[in-house]
Amino acid sequence: MVISFSMNLKESFPLNPEHHLTPGPLPHFVAERENHSRVGAFTRNYHDISREDAKMPTGLNEINHGFEASLFHPDFGNEVVNGRIFLDRWKLRFRSESVSEEIPMEILEVEFEPGSTRIYFSDPNRPDLKIFTCDQCVLKHPALRQSNKIREQMTVVLGRRELTRALRATLYFIAFCVFATWFCSMALGFMVRTIASGVPMEWEERFGQEEIDKLRKEGALVDDTNQIAQLTELAQPLIKALPENRRNLKFYILDNPFPNAFALPGGYVVVHNGLLQMTETPEELLGVLAHEIAHETQRHVIRHRIAAAGPLVVFGFFMHSRSGAGNLLALGSGYMIYQGFSQDYETEADEVGWSYLVAANIDPRGMISTFQKLRASEDGMHFHMPQAFASHPALGKRIALLEKKWKKLDKKTGFLELTPVSWPKPNGWDDRAFFQLKVPKPGTND
């Protein structure tokens, strides 16, 4: 009985002649049980996969479920069809409720809209068809990365985009630096002006008197009361146009053949003999005096010395001890007065001096004429300091700015008729070419 059962088992379970351990077809009841086990395993595995899918990273979910996208084609008019795109190694598929389109991966072209996050997919055989998405995660899809053609397109386009982004960042940085420099300059100027406004008039008087005493001790001042009285009288119309607290001016003449003048804090105005000899009309001399007096009324000497202390020192005084501005001024040197002002100060003195002449009803073209003579004297001496190293702006530019002011001036006649003054020529002086220069007044043909 046992043997017979064994024989039946062999017939029911024939062995593979090559692999004796491999059973043949299972009997019905065994197969049914096995199928039931497989269905159960499939069910369990399905639920496991579902649970794992719920735990899957967002990026993989997007790859499996597609990416939000839109499609445009003339057949749909001006409307854009919204849907999703799905990618595999063979095709890009667009699906919506009403539209289904496919583009083979081998001819797919990728484009990026400049200044936007849109990514366009197109078919060269159907140029009117445009599929686009703003989801940058699509660029991470394996199907795009595995395509050599698309990878090359993305490398070129993304490289160009990175270059554009780098250039834009560089321009933003340069613009920021320019703005920061401008802002710091304006802030520093404001702080310097504020500190200078706190300097008492007594300090200005003392400082100016000390400089005059130095010049007198050196024997550089001309001790001729008649000339000084003439100069003071000539300047009276101009003085009346100054602010009331700046009208107490004291004039001095310096024995120096170079045509120049300067004003010290406290209202001390020093005029070179050379300037008296070069100017031919009172308007020319007053034009220079208006410029130099503007330096004094705008406190350029004080502001110059405060600014020379450095931004950090200026900021410290501005924030904590504005009342100690005298100590800050003591850090400078009186010699700085004779080194010239910055181009901004010179331009400001031209503009303010011009306004003083107009307010005093003095022909302002005298300032232009004097500057033209100074430029001619430079040309005659064949000496030109590079503009980058010059503290004064190029005379040509200053003259051009003043000529523009003259053209915009409403009143061009009816100015004061000033009496010419004859200045004695110092002993031992030769006739200098720049003394005899004659420059026609702007706007005339003489």
148-152, 268-272, 287-291, 338-342: lowest mean pLDDT where?
Answer: 338-342
Per-residue pLDDT tens for 115-139? Answer: 778 889 999 999 999 999 998 888 8
**362 and 288 in a common domain:** yes
Residue 361 lies in a domain: yes
Number of domains in the chain: 3
**84 and 208 in a common domain:** no
Residue 171 lies in a domain: no
**76 and 49 in a common domain:** no
* C-alpha to C-alpha distance for 56 and 48, rounded to whole angstroms: 12
Residue 34 lies in a domain: yes
Which are the contacts of 266, defined by CB distance < 8 A and separation ≥ 6? 201, 204, 205, 206, 207, 208, 209
Residue 268 lies in a domain: yes
- 23 three-state secondary structure: strand
The answer to whether residue 282 scores a pLDDT higher than 90 is yes
Which are the contacts of 231, defined by CB distance < 8 A and separation ≥ 6? 251, 253, 271, 276
Q: Which residues pair with 213 in a beta bridge?
A: none
Residue 189 lies in a domain: no
Residue 440 lies in a domain: no
Out of 101, 134, 163, a domain closes at 163
**205 and 90 in a common domain:** no
**371 and 324 in a common domain:** yes
Residue 257 lies in a domain: yes
**229 and 108 in a common domain:** no
**335 and 295 in a common domain:** yes
**372 and 296 in a common domain:** yes
* C-alpha to C-alpha distance for 219 and 316, rounded to whole angstroms: 40
Give the count of alpha carbons within 13 A of 385, CB side only.
10
| CATH classification at residue 158 | 2.30.29.30
Out of 163, 179, 211, a domain closes at 163
- 390 three-state secondary structure: coil
183-192, 231-240, 257-266, 417-426: lowest mean pLDDT where?
Answer: 183-192
pLDDT of residue 188: 78
**117 and 83 in a common domain:** yes
Per-residue pLDDT tens for 51-78? Answer: 333 343 444 444 567 899 999 988 887 7
Task: Extract the tokens encoding 98.
Answer: 């009403």
Residue 306 lies in a domain: yes
SS3 content of the chain, % helix, strand, coil (to 5): 55, 15, 30
Out of 112, 139, 163, a domain closes at 163
CB of 114 within 8 A of CB of 169? no
**108 and 44 in a common domain:** no
Domain that holds residue 138: 61-163
**242 and 142 in a common domain:** no
**66 and 51 in a common domain:** no
* C-alpha to C-alpha distance for 75 and 358, rounded to whole angstroms: 74
pLDDT of residue 331: 46
Torsion sign (Cα): 85, 86, 91, 94: negative
